[in-house]
A and B are shown apart, each in its own frame.
Chain A
Amino acid sequence: KNEVEQSPQNLTAQEGEFITINCSYSVGISALHWLQQHPGGGIVSLFMLSSGKKKHGRLIATINIQEKHSSLHITASHPRDSAVYICAVRPSGYALNFGKGTSLLVTP
Chain B
Amino acid sequence: NAGVTQTPKFRILKIGQSMTLQCTQDMNHNYMYWYRQDPGMGLKLIYYSVGAGITDKGEVPNGYNVSRSTTEDFPLRLELAAPSQTSVYFCASLPEYTYNEQFFGPGTRLTVL
Q: Which residues of A contact B (CB under 8 A)?
A: 1, 4, 30-31, 33, 35, 41-45, 48, 86, 88, 90, 93-101
Residue numbers in A under 8 Å from B43 (CB-CB): 86, 88, 96, 98
Q: Given that A43-B104, A44-B104, A45-B100 are known contacts, is A100 also in contact with B45, CB under 8 Å in the complex?
A: no
- B45–A95 contact, CB under 8 A? yes
Q: Which of A1, A96, A99 contacts B102 (CB 8 A)?
A: A96
Cα separation A42 to B106 with both chains bound (whole Å): 5
User: Which residues of chain B from 63 to 113 have any CB-CB distance to chain A below 8 Å in the complex?
Assistant: 88, 90, 92, 97-98, 100-104, 106-107, 109
By DSSP majority rule, is chain A's interface helix, strand, loop, or mixed? strand
Cα separation A93 to B56 with both chains bound (whole Å): 12
Cα separation A105 to B113 with both chains bound (whole Å): 32
- B100–A94 contact, CB under 8 A? no
Q: Given that A41-B88, A41-B106, A42-B107 are known contacts, is A30 also in contact with B42, CB under 8 Å in the complex?
A: no
B50 adjacent to chain A (CB < 8 Å):
yes
Cα separation A88 to B41 with both chains bound (whole Å): 13
Residue numbers in A under 8 Å from B88 (CB-CB): 41
7 cross-chain pairs, A with B, having the tightest CB-CB distances, nearest first = A98-B42, A43-B104, A45-B101, A98-B43, A48-B100, A100-B42, A95-B45
